[in-house]
Amino acid sequence: MTVTRTGEHARDVDPRRWWGLVIIALAQLMVVLDATIVNIALPSAQEDLGISDGNRQWVITAYSLAFGGLLLLGGRIADLVGRKRTFVIGLIGFAAASALGGAATTAGMLFGARALQGVFAAVLAPSALSLLTTTFTDPKERGKAFGIYGALAGSGSAIGFIVGGLLTEYLDWRWCLYVNVPIAVIAVFGALTLLHDSPGHAGARLDVPGVLLGCGGLVAIVYGFAEAEPRGWTDPMVLTLFVVGVVLLAAFVWWQTRAPVPLLPLHIIKDRTRAGCFLTMALAVIGLFGLFLFMTYYLQVILDYSPVMTGLAFLPLTVAIITGSTQIAARLLDHVAPRLLMAPGALLAAIGMVLLTRLTVHSSYASDILPALILMGLGMGLIFMPVFATATAGVAPQDSGVTSATVNTSQQVGGSIGTALLNTIATTSSAAYITAHLTDPAQRALVTQEGIVHGYTVAIWWAAAITLLAGVVAALMVTAKPPKHGAAQEAQIPEPVA
């Protein structure tokens, strides 16, 4: 392998680096799709294990809570121990947790396995992104690599629906978890063979108070949004969780200014462009993940689709996200400012969501749903790829892991908040509609279906508004120039003193 150095960056010209990208992308796809692959399998798992309606949400929430809440810790571990080493450890742990979940005999065992998956995903995801950041430093190659990565990160959830539907209908819901084991085995051997990395920073310390404050605050807030659906927004426990979360995060920020080795160096989020990328990602994913939930239930409950048909119905969205990331955003990012991709992308996605507000109990997939999914996918592809590439550009090597973790944290926490927030809006709107319109008991079934769809459309209006807000944030905060114009400037960014 030949290595040349420009400024503080090492340019890897190993011809196998693109195979290394395949391994990194495979691991990231596994982590992202696992947030949704069990959604379609959830009714079967609930019946098999006797999970109550009130507790079934924890199959999803246990994963996203552990993942989103511990990502910052995982990012810092990647910086301290070494990215390749934590990447391999994360893969092995994720596979073991998946096998445990597939073999679950009780609800508690499944919840615990899903939480354990989230823990190892929090180690794996930032290692994957930081390995990508340090492997591809050439602006042209970086654009292509992040285009592929952004497409997988953005479409992984939709792919999860397709795979989940196929496995549930033709094998068993447990295979939605078992399937991770062979993927992880391939990725481990590939990582050991193809990936290269410098060792971790010897002698560096882990910011334990920062871990407790930051991760605790994120977990409290995400848990609060998860509990808002069954308990209501004014429930004392929900309000307490929000207050505790805000206080812990405020204390976390205060501590980071005083910690000798901070978990999240504040210069990372003080940068206007980088902070804009984090916020844009969180807002965009709030709308997208909430929509995944509604469309899954709409297709299965209202239109009576099978699990496989429901998964396949998301395929155009997946293709559109990949097209937007790799064929549009990746080709244009060298020539236009990132916000000129991200803001129009948010507008395009919001238009797609507005189209879905016209849904009724008799809507057609081809005319009412398909065009909206294509617009949303293209729009999200224009957001994801520039966000990943721009947020991680110009970061000092020792901070690449924690920066990567912050991008992933934005995505996971945004997804968790979006699912809980929009589902609560949908549920309350549906209940209000049914109460107001159920005057004839003989019409209960029809009114109930109409009420459910009404709740979905109200929530989708909110999703569209939040997605538009993501575009406004990108337009106002992301001020970075096109990479080829900012390359010289990027090379001059000083590294913070450790």
Query: What angle, 0 to 180 degrees and rounded to 10, lies between the N-to-C axes of helices 400-437 and 208-231?
Result: 10
The SS3 of residue 63 is: helix
Mean pLDDT estimate for the chain: 79
What pTM value is reported for the model? 0.77
pLDDT at 198 over 80: no
Phi, psi angle pair for 41, to nearest 5°: -80, -10
Q: Which helix (H) or strand (E) holds 9?
A: strand 9-12
Torsion angle (degrees, nearest 10) of CA 12, 75, 412, 255: -140
Query: Where does 323-399 have alpha helices with state H?
Result: 330-332, 339-356, 370-391
| 3-class state of residue 200 by DSSP | coil
pLDDT of residue 471: 92
- pLDDT, mean of residues 294-316: 83
Residues 418-456: tens digit of each pLDDT: 777 787 788 788 888 888 877 777 777 778 888 888 988
SS3 label, residue 8: coil
> Among 77, 141, 66, 135, which residue's Cα sits nearest to residue 401?
77
Would you say residue 106 has pLDDT above 80?
yes
Contact (CB, 8 A) for 247 and 209: no
Indicate the residue type of 143. G
How do residues 460-490 score in pLDDT, each as one tens digit?
999 999 999 999 999 998 887 776 654 444 4
Reduce the DSSP state of residue 6 to 3 states and report it: strand
Residue 144 reports pLDDT greater than 80: no
Whether residue 266 contacts residue 254, with contact meaning beta carbons closer than 8 Å, is answered with no
- Count each helix (H run) and each strand (E run) in the chain, helices first: 20, 2
Of 94-108, 217-231, 339-353, 365-379, the one with minimum mean pLDDT is 217-231
pLDDT, mean of residues 225-252: 85
Rounded Cα gap, residues 253 and 279, in angstroms: 17
Highest mean pLDDT range out of 102-116, 259-273, 443-457?
102-116
Range ranked top by mean pLDDT from 22-31, 120-129, 259-268, 272-281: 272-281
Q: 11 by DSSP, 3-state: which?
A: strand
Across 160-180, average pLDDT: 85
Q: What is the pLDDT of residues 381-416, one digit of tens each?
A: 899 888 878 887 777 766 666 777 777 778 777 877
From the CB of residue 7, how many other CB atoms can be counted at a distance below 10 Å? 12
The pLDDT of residue 113 is 93
More confident residue, 40 or 236: 236
497: left (phi over 0), alpha (psi -120 to 50) or beta: beta
Question: What is d(CA 304, CA 152) in angstroms, rounded to the nearest whole number?
Answer: 29
Least confident of 157-166, 344-353, 395-404, 470-479: 395-404
Give me 124's structure tokens.
Answer: 């794996």
The arithmetic mean of pLDDT across residues 228-253, rounded, is 87
**Tokens linked to 490:** 């990027």
User: How many Å apart are CA 54 and CA 114, to the nearest integer?
Assistant: 17
Q: What are φ and ψ of residue 173, in 5° steps?
A: -60, -30
Q: Residue 496 CA to chain centroid, in angstroms? A: 29
